[in-house]
């Protein structure tokens, strides 16, 4: 009888451990903003027609390219998101600091871009998450 109780106890522990392991939470996928965004930008009141690609990475790293076929960003910087308000500042490898200010709405991010970190609104952009 004692051996049967030990076997049942071990089976109970094994079943309990399996149940707890199955209930393990999935890893946090990170903010919805993280990913690759592709779209267009324009100058001042000009309709958007130039390629724009954002690389929004975990940890606040940001990359940008004006060629949507680029695999690596032409500019690097940082980003932050407060509610739905997105802001990024970046520097192109060839020089020049720029920034974007936008509003996140689902898989769409639209707003303005400009010179420097203060964004002097040189034009508009619209990108969608890939």
Domains and CATH numbers, the chain: 35-129 (2.40.128.120)
Structure tokens at 92: 């192109």
Look at residues 128, 125, 124 and name the one whose alpha carbon lies nearest to residue 108.
128
pLDDT (average), residues 64-84: 91
User: CA-CA distance, 111 to 46, in Å (whole number)?
Assistant: 14
- pLDDT score for 67: 82
Please measure the distance between the N-terminal and C-terminal CA atoms of the chain and give it in whole angstroms: 63
Residue 100 class from Cβ within 10 Å (0-12 exposed, 13-18 middle, 19+ buried)? buried
Model confidence pLDDT, tens digit, residues 28-38:
555 689 999 99
Indicate whether this model's pTM tops 0.85: no
- Chain CA centroid to CA 46, Å: 27
- pLDDT score for 45: 75
| Residue 99, C-beta contacts closer than 8 angstroms, at least 6 positions apart | 87, 88, 89, 90, 113, 114, 116, 117, 118, 119
In the predicted model, is pLDDT for residue 9 greater than 60?
no
Across all residues in the chain, what is the average pLDDT?
83
Yes or no: say if 100 and 122 are a contact pair by the CB < 8 Å rule. no
pLDDT (average), residues 104-110: 96
Q: Which of 9-13, 69-73, 80-84 has the highest mean pLDDT?
A: 80-84
In the predicted model, is pLDDT for residue 20 greater than 50?
no
- pLDDT score for 117: 87
In the predicted model, is pLDDT for residue 85 greater than 90?
yes
């Amino acid at each position: 009888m004692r051996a049967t109780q030990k076997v049942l106890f071990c089976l109970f522990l094994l079943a309990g451990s399996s149940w707890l392991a199955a209930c393990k939470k999935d890893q946090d996928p990170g903010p919805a903003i993280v990913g690759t965004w592709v779209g267009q930008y324009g100058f001042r009141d000009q309709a958007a027609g130039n390629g724009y690609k954002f690389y929004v990475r975990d940890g606040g790293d940001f990359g940008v390219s004006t060629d949507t076929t680029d695999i690596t960003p032409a500019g690097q910087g940082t980003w932050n998101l407060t509610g739905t308000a997105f802001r990024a500042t970046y520097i192109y490898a060839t020089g020049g600091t720029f920034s974007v200010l936008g509003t996140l709405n689902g898989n769409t991010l639209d707003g303005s871009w400009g010179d420097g970190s203060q964004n002097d609104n040189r034009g508009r952009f619209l990108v969608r998450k890939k």
